[in-house]
Amino acid sequence: MSDPVNSTILLLDIEKYSDRDDVEQAYLRRMLFDLTDRALLAAGIEETLRRRADRGDSVMELIDSNASVTALLRTLLTVVPAELRALNRLASSSARMRLRGVVASGYVAVDRDGGWVGSDLNHACRLLDAEVLREALREGPGDFALCVSEPVYRGVVRHNHPGVVAEEFHAVTVDSKNGVLQARIHSLFPQAQASGPAPEPLATARPSGSVPRTGAFDFGGATVNGGVFGGSNHGIGGGTFHGDVHLGGAPGEGA
């Protein structure tokens, strides 16, 4: 077995692959490999800087640690979703390809049979299989869901490089056979927007002690039914206006 080498780990997996027949699976595999090649080339990662392992419904890439992780993430956030939209636009439901992706980093060794070995690789695979990432793809508006490991987030994402917005990556915890793993899932929608309570409408906020009444306005403790008040009134900024002022409804309504 070779000595472990520090690498960037890219994993891509096809959703519901086993639900397709043999012809559909062969088509999806070809589309996945072609898409991966185009994405890595767009990120400036040549074939000499990567090694691929075929896992049937998924592809695993070991990428030289000198290759730009920022460029890889930028491509995964732009090129891959656009490519998937183009592929799926006219595809039948059986030929539609939706992907989960993981970007991680760590030390991986290659054994004499070409197998990959390393706990960092195991952790990346656990993230790929995590229910929280599967749910992100099911519930998301697009055809791609991306997760990054905590080391990738701390080393690259949190610095807000162009095209990689840290605020769009939300913290998650993944229970696995290797213990609890920390990671970040990309989403354009803040978590608070999806799960937080809706703010109380301004119209329901009233001064303490006031009595709510339909069709009434409160002006300094004097509530005028129907939104009408008369006489000389001092406006904001010191101006004075005279006569009756109507705020909704016809004069005399609610009297």
Indicate the CATH number for domain 5-191: 3.30.70.1230
Residue 79 has pLDDT above 80, yes or no: yes
Q: Given pLDDT bands bounded at 50, 70 and 90, which one contains residue 90?
A: confident
Residue 2's pLDDT is: 81
- State phi, psi for 217 to the nearest 5 degrees: -125, 145
Q: What distance in Å separates the CA atoms of residue 127 and residue 141, rounded to the nearest whole number?
A: 21
Helix (H, G, I), strand (E, B) or coil at 175: strand
Q: What distance in Å separates the CA atoms of residue 34 and residue 30, rounded to the nearest whole number?
A: 6
Residue 243's pLDDT is: 53
Domain boundaries, the chain: 5-191, 207-246
Question: Does the reported pTM lie above 0.75?
Answer: no
> Residue 26 class from Cβ within 10 Å (0-12 exposed, 13-18 middle, 19+ buried)?
exposed
Going through the chain in order, the beta strands assigned E by DSSP cover 5-14, 50-54, 58-64, 99-110, 116-117, 144-149, 169-176, 179-186, 216-219, 222-225, 228-229, 233-234, 240-241, 245-246
Residue 197 has pLDDT above 80, yes or no: no
Q: Given pLDDT bands bounded at 50, 70 and 90, which one contains residue 119?
A: very high
At 11-69, the pLDDT tens digits run 999 999 999 999 999 999 999 999 999 999 999 999 999 999 887 789 999 999 999 99
Give me Rg for the CA atoms of the chain.
29
Average pLDDT over every residue of 97-103: 97
